[in-house]
Amino acid sequence: MINDIPLNYFLSLAAALFCIGLFGSLARKNAIAVLMGIELMLNAVNINLVAFWRYGSPDPILNQAGIVFALFVITLAAAEAAIGLALVIAIYRSRDTVNVEEINLLKW
Amino acid sequence: MDLFGVISQLVFLLVAVLTLAAGLATVLLRNVFHAALALVGTFFGVAAIYLMLEAEFLAIVQILVYVGAIAVLILFAVMLTRGMMQTEDSNINSQWAWAATAIGVLFVGLFILILQVPWKISGQPVVGDTTPALGTALLTTYLLPFEVVSVLLLATLIGAFIIARE
């Protein structure tokens, strides 16, 4: 199966998904939607890591650095989601909004 | 190319289109709750991509952690912070056109880069199970990062608890 699909396909898919996620985190007003954009970007990076492991590794069984790296990225994404959503809920409690344009206490 | 190769490519294109459509829906849907549900669809699509890359363990972890934990966390956060966001006039900010332009340039640049670079491809087949070797690697070569990331996860969850409580 893997010899029938070029590596470029996976890399292009990851680039497109990364750009979609980047747009979401730059353009959305809702803080939770910004976090969702970041999750999309992390997924796109993981696709790249796994694709390079599968296509580039001289021995995919013995050298699983790409898989291990992707596992750590998933773990850190879980940590990031937990902290980010806790911050959003704390801000919602004190300011009654999750609109990032109104959360400007530290803006010059 | 034989029939199997054509079918492989068709399956890949189908999964890729579904994943990107779900990602676009995540970014563009006005209702944040619907966007979170579209995000779940994207996670499933990425899990299918992992399966195509013969990383079965990672596909299962993707579904367990992303769909099982992170998506539920996001849905809970959306439901806890409702009210204000229902009546807003627009869900994207005033600089979205600049962001879209810059990201379009970035995507074209990345695409040209992907096509230009001569990637080193070994194309070795995966013989046998990858999961036992992955477990061995995590507890030998990558033991220190493995332990550090578990401590980090614990610290993060305690921190999230302290930040979010009253």
What is the value of ipTM here, to two decimals? 0.92
In angstroms, the separation between the Cα of residue A107 and the nearest Cα of chain B is 17
Looking at per-residue confidence, does A96 or B107 come out higher? B107
pLDDT in tens, B28-74: 988 888 999 999 999 999 999 999 988 999 999 999 999 999 999 99
Residue A26 one-letter amino acid: L
- pLDDT value at B86 more than 60: no
Q: What proportion of chain B, given as a percentage, has pLDDT over 90?
A: 62
- Coil, strand or helix: which one is A30? strand
By Cβ distance, the residue of B54, B73, B95 closest to A54 is: B54
Contact at CB, A4 and B120, closer than 8 angstroms: no
Nearest to A38 by CA among A50, A21, A55: A21
Contact at CB, B142 and A68, closer than 8 angstroms: yes
Q: In the beta sheet, which residues pair with residue B92? A: A28
CATH 1.10.287.3510 fits A2-102, yes or no: yes
In angstroms, the separation between the Cα of residue A38 and the nearest Cα of chain B is 11
In angstroms, the separation between the Cα of residue B12 and the nearest Cα of chain A is 8
Residue B11 one-letter amino acid: V
Contact at CB, B20 and A93, closer than 8 angstroms: no
- Coil, strand or helix: which one is A99? strand
Q: Place B96 in a pLDDT band, splitting at 50, 70 and 90.
A: confident
Contact at CB, A20 and B90, closer than 8 angstroms: no
Nearest to B130 by CA among A6, A17, A2, A45: A2
pLDDT attached to residue B26 = 92
Interface of B with A in 10-69 (CB under 8 A): 12, 16, 19-20, 23-24, 26-27, 32, 35-36, 39, 42-43, 46, 49-50, 52-55, 57-58, 61-62, 65-66, 69
B121 contact A CB<8A:
yes
Chain A CA closest to residue B20: A17
Nearest to B78 by CA among B30, B44, B20: B30
Chain B CA closest to residue A78: B70
Phi, psi of B120 (to 5 degrees): -80, 115
Contact at CB, A67 and B58, closer than 8 angstroms: yes
By Cβ distance, the residue of A59, A88, A101 closest to B124 is: A59
Residues A53 and A65: their CA atoms lie apart, in Å, by 7
Question: How confident is the prediction along chain A (108 residues), in pLDDT tens digits per residue?
Answer: 667 888 999 999 999 999 999 999 999 888 899 999 999 999 999 999 999 998 888 888 888 889 999 999 999 999 999 999 999 999 888 888 888 888 888 877
Question: Taking residues B150-154, what's their average pLDDT?
Answer: 94
Burial A5-20 (b: 16+ CB within 10 A, else e): bebebbbbbbbbbbbb
Residues A39 and A85: their CA atoms lie apart, in Å, by 12
Residues B156 and A82: their CA atoms lie apart, in Å, by 7
Contact at CB, B130 and A60, closer than 8 angstroms: yes
Q: Tell me if B93 sits within 8 A of A29, measured CB to CB.
A: yes
Nearest to B71 by CA among B84, B81, B62: B62
- pLDDT value at B99 more than 70: yes
In angstroms, the separation between the Cα of residue B107 and the nearest Cα of chain A is 6
Domain edges within chain A: 2-102
Chain B CA closest to residue A2: B53
- pLDDT value at B125 more than 90: no
Alpha-carbon distances, residue B122 vs A3, A41, A57, A70, B39 (angstroms): 11, 27, 6, 20, 33
In angstroms, the separation between the Cα of residue A60 and the nearest Cα of chain B is 6
Contact at CB, B84 and A96, closer than 8 angstroms: yes
